[in-house]
Amino acid sequence: MNEVTLEIDGKEIKVEKGSTILEAAKGIGIDIPTLCYHPLVSPFGACRLCSVEIERRGRKNIVTSCIYPVEEGLVVNTKSPEVIKVRKMIIELLMARCPNVKILQDLAQEYGIKETRFELEDETCILCGLCTRICEERVGVSAINFINRGVNRMIEGPLEDHLGTNLSDVCIGCGACAYVCPTGTIVLEDLYKKIRSSYPFGVVEERTFGRRSEEDEVLGIYKNCYAVRSKKGDILERAQDGGAVTSLLAYALESGMIDAAVITVADDRWEPTTKVATSYDDLKEGAGTKYTFYPSGIGISDAVNNGYKDIGFVGTPCQTEGLRKILTSDQPYSLGKEKIKLLVGLFCLDTFKQELMGFINDKITRLQEVSKLDIKGRDLNVYEKNGEVHAIPLSDIEGYVNKGCYACTDFSSELADISIGSVGSDMGWSTVITRTEKGVALLEGAINDGYVEAKELEDLKLPIRLAKIKRKRAKKETGTTRS
């Protein structure tokens, strides 16, 4: 590793050459405030809130830490009087533009700013560009962009009424823009209501299956339905229910059907992120359901950029719909859709906000002690590593549900190649629905090679009931049905 030595706030450290000052400071626990920075996208240096003072060869300068690279012998001060003065001015200007944005109000309080000297506006967007960058860099859609210059600069995107439906046609509703928005200008609930209610489901079905589903096909178009269980003991120890997702992906990788699988994993604080899995051990790391929202589709770009050509993806219905829209659309998406070869969809009634993990940590048990989460009946079960299980009534955590999910009509990932969930099968088994020839080949191959065992399912009353509930709820929420 090529390292450089520098000093930050009086502490000498060694960091990898090419790192930024912001990354180096965070690595040793020094907090530098940011607004336009997010680790999921390239740094932009738009807001300048992360300004620090540097000294080299006896000369001092104020620089933007999120884009300034570390140098040998650099001396950095993150809290000098000059730095504080710059940050106060930036906060004051932003407060004038967006006086009612909480994150700015909190910063103003932290830095002792009681009022702004500048003329007040009534905006919420600070033009940080995080939404445009994640949509272009990680989603490959570019449905949201900057327009105009100077004081007329603004963001255009799928929620602007005056833009009509054109951008909605491009937007896949992945929610990545809402995930990174620091001010709450883009809200997941608003995005889902707009995009999900206008999603061309019937057209995408025709392009995927050759026909549209009938009104009574509430689980979508499919070929067969099975109860499936892994035959790998080490997977069953870690996986959710029957371990079908992990075992089927293991077969897909080892048989050459795919060369990488984009899965969702979580750290010891149960913060989700994506991982490009290329081995059996990688897949085991991602075993188990993560119940909080994360725009997992952004992991596709990681797989493409790492040179993989046959990529599988595991995700919720909304994520699967977004990728299927890309796969069947004539839009010139830059994601590299020809490399997406397998969509594994999960059953999903709704997801939770990440704040749920804070509730569990504060009220139930330390997150570092949690080994697994699952929903059984009317409870969210929290499993500790010591074997203790805590049952939380779903009614107690209703406030943590992502209300945007109420606009979604899809319970069983109807546009996937193969759909998997726990509802409808006996304890310890997964319900698996094959939808395309690719999905059929995946399950049959995994059975023949000893990865899973399967038995046909005839009683689908429970998944059908939940699918009907989700469609009815979406109609009430948006006032529309599928197009």
Contact 346, 296 (CB under 8 A): no
pLDDT value of residue 417: 98
Q: Say if residue 231's pLDDT is above 90.
A: yes
Which residues fall within 8 angstroms of residue 305, CB to CB, at 6 or more apart?
Answer: none
**Each residue of 442-451: pLDDT tens digit?**
999 999 999 9
Between CA 172 and CA 327 the distance in angstroms is: 11
- Same fold across 3-88 and 130-196: no
Enter the pTM of the model: 0.90
Complete edge-to-edge strand list for the sheet that includes strand 75-77: 11-16, 3-8, 75-77, 51-56, 59-64
Strand partners, 391: 381
130-196 architecture in CATH?
2-Layer Sandwich (3.30)
Between CA 424 and CA 190 the distance in angstroms is: 32
Q: Say if residue 248's pLDDT is above 50.
A: yes
Residue with tokens 């990865």: 451
**Each residue of 205-220: pLDDT tens digit?**
999 999 999 999 999 9
Q: Say if residue 376's pLDDT is above 60.
A: yes
Over range 271-295, report the average pLDDT.
88
Between CA 157 and CA 133 the distance in angstroms is: 13
Q: Say if residue 57's pLDDT is above 80.
A: yes
Q: Say if residue 355's pLDDT is above 90.
A: yes
Six token digits for residue 325: 């829209």
Contact 257, 445 (CB under 8 A): yes
Q: Say if residue 482's pLDDT is above 80.
A: no
Q: Say if residue 151's pLDDT is above 50.
A: yes
Query: Vertex 87, ends 81 and 89: CA angle to 5°?
Result: 105
3-state helix, strand, coil in the chain (%, to 5): 35, 20, 40
- Residue spans per domain, the chain: 3-88, 130-196, 201-478
CATH 1.10.1060.10 corresponds to the domain 3-88:
no
Least confident interval from 11-20, 79-88, 124-133, 278-287? 278-287
Better-scored residue on pLDDT, 140 or 152: 140
The torsion of the CA quartet 257, 262, 267, 269, rounded to 10 degrees, works out to -130
Six token digits for residue 132: 């445009």
Confidence tier at 164 by pLDDT (50, 70, 90)? very low
User: Is 224 buried (19+), middle (13-18) or exposed (0-12) by CB count in 10 A?
Assistant: middle
Query: Vertex 280, ends 376 and 286: CA angle to 5°?
Result: 35
pLDDT value of residue 479: 79
Confidence tier at 483 by pLDDT (50, 70, 90)? low
As a whole number, the mean pLDDT across the chain is 91
Least confident interval from 74-83, 163-172, 261-270, 310-319? 163-172
pLDDT value of residue 477: 86
Between CA 132 and CA 466 the distance in angstroms is: 36
Complete edge-to-edge strand list for the sheet that includes strand 389-393: 370-376, 379-384, 389-393
pLDDT value of residue 36: 96
Contact 125, 47 (CB under 8 A): no
**Each residue of 66-113: pLDDT tens digit?**
999 999 999 999 999 999 999 999 999 999 999 999 999 999 999 999
Contact 350, 394 (CB under 8 A): no
**Each residue of 22-33: pLDDT tens digit?**
999 999 999 999
pLDDT value of residue 165: 35
Least confident interval from 234-238, 249-253, 461-465? 234-238
pLDDT value of residue 166: 41
